[in-house]
A and B are shown apart, each in its own frame.
Chain A
Amino acid sequence: MHKGSAASAPKKFLVHLTMAIIFILLFAFSSWLLWLTYFRDASQSEEALAKRAVSRQEMVYEPFHGAGDSVLEGGKSQSWCLKCHKDYSHSKSKEVRGILNAHSFFMACEVCHIVPKEGERFEYKWLGRSSNLPMTELKGKPGDYGGSIVPFRAEKGFAKRLDENAPANLLLDEAVTANLLPDESGKKGSTGDLQALRDRLNTEIHKDLSSKPVFCDKCHKENGMLDFAQLLYSPERAQRLEFGDGATIIKQYKEFYLPSLHDARRNQ
């Protein structure tokens, strides 16, 4: 019907070869898309599907209120700081206390409240809540992986857990005996001469703590204080913790401006 091309045989072969390779690549990609759409879910268990759904959701978006199970079930933190400071230990700043308290669900207080000295670098590990052993993978729902992030400092060739303080624990036992600690309603006991014990407690327990804790942007950035990939997070999750929306907000705003919903109405 039409005249043949004047192109040489090697050139023709090269064109046919290129078109064949492109065809194979496109065919493979199309087949993969069809498999994704119609067949991948059919060959997987309900559990695997649920796991992938969570994983994909982590990669794309993660509404803050979506990860609420750990809130409903309780963080199960074993930090002894909470004996005095209780569940909502961060209460000074109304604007950010919710975010800080949420972190205490899965982090030892010392992660933020013991700041490494200049040139010093702590090691951070997930320890299983029940086993107290380093975890090898993160299982479960975001926000409740069954463990806590704990800081370690290298001391005399050993890695020392910084969330353990034996002398302070002994003093705490004394404090319990003396009814010094606050009860569930937050009221402190009033029996006995307690000032001396209270002073010793404050000194001993807080001696390693930094006056200014680590701020959010020390961790939620590239090459920050926490290596999220080393902390067993998936590459996507690690990336999100470094560069995600929350991290971006932290980078851009040192001050949080919240709407004055009710105050404004009351003042009218």
Chain B
Amino acid sequence: MSRHGKSEKSFVRLTKSERVQHVIMFVSTTLLIITGFMLMGEKSAIDLLGAAGKSIFYWRGIVHRIAAAAVTAVCFYHLYYVMFKADGKSWFRDMLPKSRDLVDAYQNVMYMLGLRKERPRLDRFTYLEKLEYFSVYFGMFIVISTGTMMWTQSYWPKFYLDVADALHLGEATLAALAIIVGHIFAVHYHPHVYPMNRAFIDGKISETLMKEEHSLWYERIIAEDRSKPANGAEGGRGNA
């Protein structure tokens, strides 16, 4: 259904390791959101569950903790990945904020307001992707630390647990809304990728989308490929 044909030239957007990390993150976060916000449900709605409610809430706690452990593990693995793996180092280097991101943001807003004729030419990661990526670092630090406190509640004074509870809920709400409004729109409902950007499955990005969304990166890869002897049919990995 994607508007980009299958026969079109494609480029590697996500490595296998990055896709596996994403899947674990996606499944765990979905479970965490569902089982976490179950606690915020109205009592009358919970009562509708009747006798099954007891078992459901028992498993809710267990599933939440298992998903939390999985997401924590993948976060730590990602830190290892960006510090010690070649692909990870390249990923992190390209993800680091640059002054150009501010210019890109300004120019993109002007373009969307109709005050600029052309979209800014963006690199491997756009300013929005960088913002989203580093927001996950911030969010994960908050929810993992406060979640650990609540998991080990008997070691903490009530005041600290109250603060941890408020932070955990606030960050979870912010993250859930950011994922739905920002990430899901960008990878599913954006006209360029609707109904889905398949990069999280096959790791590839089409040449058309590369030119539209990451033209600077595209040009860099083409230039690098031209400087090398002919290789495979598919495009390069960028500067990885």
List residues of chain A with CB under 8 Å of any chain B CB: 2-5, 7, 11-12, 15, 18-19, 22-23, 26, 29-30, 33-34, 36-37, 52, 55-56, 59-61, 63, 65-66, 229, 234-236, 238-239, 242-243, 245
B125 close to A (CB within 8 Å): no
Alpha-carbon gap, A63 to B158, bound state (A): 7
B18 in contact (CB, < 8 A): no
Q: Which one of A55, A61, A243 contacts B150 once the chains associate, using CB atoms below 8 Å?
A: A61
Q: How far is the CA of A29 from the CA of B5 in the complex (A)?
A: 34
B54 touches A239 (CB 8 A): yes
B2 within 8 A of A: yes
Question: Interface SS of chain A: helix, strand, loop or mixed?
Answer: helix
Give every chain A residue within 8 A of B4 (Cβ-Cβ).
Answer: 2
By the criterion CB–CB under 8 Å, are A235 and B49 in contact? yes
Rounded to whole angstroms, the CA-CA distance of A268 and B185 in the bound complex is 68
Q: Which of B69-77, B188-196, B228-236 sits within the interface?
A: B188-196
Binding site secondary structure of chain B = helix
A19, closest chain B residue (CB): B195
Q: Please provide the chain B residues from 50 to 70 with a CB less than 8 Å away from any CB of chain A in the complex.
A: 51, 53-54, 57-58
**B residues within 8 A CB of A34?**
177
Residue of A nearest to B47 (CB): A235
Question: Please, how many angstroms separate the alpha-carbon atoms of A22 and B194 in the complex?
Answer: 13
Give the residues in chain A near B181, CB-CB below 8 Å. Answer: 30
Number of interface residues of B (CB under 8 A): 34
Q: Which of A18, A22, A65, A236 counts the most chain B CB atoms within 10 A?
A: A236
Determine if B54 and A238 form an interchain contact, defined as CB atoms under 8 angstroms apart: yes
A37 pairs with B173, CB closer than 8 A: yes
Q: With a CB–CB cut-off of 8 A, which chain B residues contact A229?
A: 51, 54
B23 within 8 Å of A (CB atoms): no
Taking a contact as CB atoms under 8 Å apart, the answer to whether B189 and A23 are in contact is yes
Check A234–B189 contact: CB distance below 8 A: no
| Interface check B180, CB cutoff 8 A | yes
Cβ–Cβ contact A36 & B39, under 8 A: no
Chain B proximity of A113: nearest CB distance (Å): 28
Q: List 23 A-B contacts (CB under 8 A).
A: A4-B3, A7-B1, A15-B195, A19-B188, A19-B194, A19-B195, A26-B180, A30-B177, A30-B181, A34-B177, A56-B40, A60-B150, A60-B165, A61-B150, A65-B158, A66-B158, A235-B46, A235-B49, A236-B57, A239-B54, A239-B57, A239-B58, A245-B153
Given A5-B2, A19-B189, 13 further pairs, Cβ under 8 A: A15-B195, A19-B188, A19-B195, A26-B184, A29-B180, A30-B177, A30-B181, A36-B40, A37-B173, A52-B43, A59-B39, A61-B150, A65-B158
Q: Encode B1-13 as 1/0 by CB contact (under 8 A) with A.
A: 1111100000000
- Residue from A55, A243, A245 with most neighbouring chain B CB atoms (10 Å): A243
